[in-house]
Amino acid sequence: MPERIGCQVTARTNSIEALEVFRAGPNKFDLFIADTTMPNMTGIQLARKLIEIKSDIPIIICSGFSEKISADKTKAMGIRGYVMKSALRSKLANKIREVMDS
């Protein structure tokens, strides 16, 4: 979906691989989207590591239902966007535009 709105996408399904790619070239990335549930480390753990590397990286966390995480909690961590997986594609597109403009 991000490609449909003009984004160039580098996709990884493993959080360790995603971290390695980001660490190798953090300035190549304008935005990072992570799922809360990922192999090896959670999306929240990954987001914290990304922020350590590049403090101003806009991050969107996607989640199914979780009582442990919310939009307010992610914002307090420095994560700019939170989207429920059940969200329509247009909501994700709007959230991408919102965090990129902030």
Domain ranges of the chain: 9-84
Asked if 94 and 1 touch (Cβ cutoff 8 Å), the reply is no
Least confident of 12-16, 17-21, 24-28, 68-72: 68-72
Determine contact, residues 61/81, Cβ cutoff 8 Å.
Answer: yes
Mean pLDDT, the chain, integer? 84
Fold for the domain defined by 9-84: Rossmann fold (3.40.50)
What integer pLDDT is reported at residue 62 of this predicted model?
85
- Write the CA distances from 97 to 25, 58, 75, integer angstroms: 22, 11, 16
Q: Please state, in angstroms and as integers, the Cα–Cα distance from residue 68 to each residue in 11, 52, 62, 65, 74, following that order.
A: 26, 22, 13, 9, 10
Angle at alpha carbon of residue 14, lines to 72 and 57, rounded to 5° = 45
Residue 62 to residue 9: CA distance in whole angstroms: 16
pLDDT digits (tens, 9 = 90+) for 52-91: 999 999 998 888 766 667 677 778 778 888 887 766 677 8
